[in-house]
Amino acid sequence: MAGQIPKRLLLAGALVLTVVASLWLELEDNANITRPSPASVSFAARRPQSGEGELPAALDADAEIRPAEDAFAPRSWYVPPPQEKPLPPPAPTPPPLPFAYLGKMVEEGQTILFLIHGDRTLAARVGDIIDDLYRIDALEEGGIRFTYLPLDRRQTLPMENAP
């Protein structure tokens, strides 16, 4: 234990010397700092006379002063996703056929089709146009092929749907 006391004293002495040396260096650094004289300060604020150079905007008393940015203003890292282009509207489709097959009759080599359209009964042939909307294109096996004229789309009416 007697050997430990001198070690503690040696460590305490080293600490005191370190603190004293750091204070001495700090005082020496402060002594080397030159303070501006009042004459040099007033010269910087003086406006240039004609023929003298312009002062930088930072020293110009009439320069516009912008407020500093608020360091505590709320900020967000959110980046909105890119705008998705809207999908094009779907291609128009014709309405369901408004006809029901009633029957057919062959007269002098011509086939006459009997159709129900709402509360009317129609007698039509291949090539006829009904209500400026539908044209009968062909009589096929199992159905009647129509063309919906506003969209030029083909539709088939089955002939099994006889009432």
Whether 125 is covered by a domain: the verdict is yes
Residue 87: inside a domain, yes or no?
Answer: no
Residue stretches of the chain with pLDDT short of 70: 1-5, 31-65, 161-163
Q: Is there a domain that residue 89 lies in?
A: no
Give the predicted TM-score (pTM) of the model: 0.47
The residue segments making up the domain with residue 116 are 99-158
Q: How many CB atoms lie within 10 A of CB 115?
A: 23
pLDDT on residue 69: 83
Per-residue model confidence (pLDDT) at position 38: 56
Q: Is the Cβ–Cβ distance between 138 and 150 less than 8 Å?
A: no
Map the chain to HEC letters.
Answer: CCCHHHHHHHHHHHHHHHHHHHHHHHHHHHHCCCCCCHHHHHHHHCCCCCCCCCCCCCCCCCCCCCCCCCCCCCCCCCCCCCCCCCCCCCCCCCCCCCEEEEEEEEECCEEEEEEEECCEEEEECCCCEECCCEEEEEEECCEEEEEECCCCEEEEEECCCCC
Burial of 133 (0-12, 13-18, 19+ CB in 10 A): middle
State residue 73's pLDDT score.
Answer: 86
- pLDDT of 68 reads 79
Rounded distance, CA 103 to CA 139, Å? 12
Q: Does some domain include residue 63? A: no
What token pair was written down for 119?
């509360």
Answer whether residue 139 is part of any domain. yes
Pairwise CA distance, residues 78 & 74, whole Å: 12
pLDDT at 33 (0 to 100): 65
The total of structural domains in the chain comes to 2
Place of tokens 């750091």: 22
Q: pLDDT, tens digit, for every residue of 127-161? A: 999 999 999 999 988 899 999 999 999 999 998 75
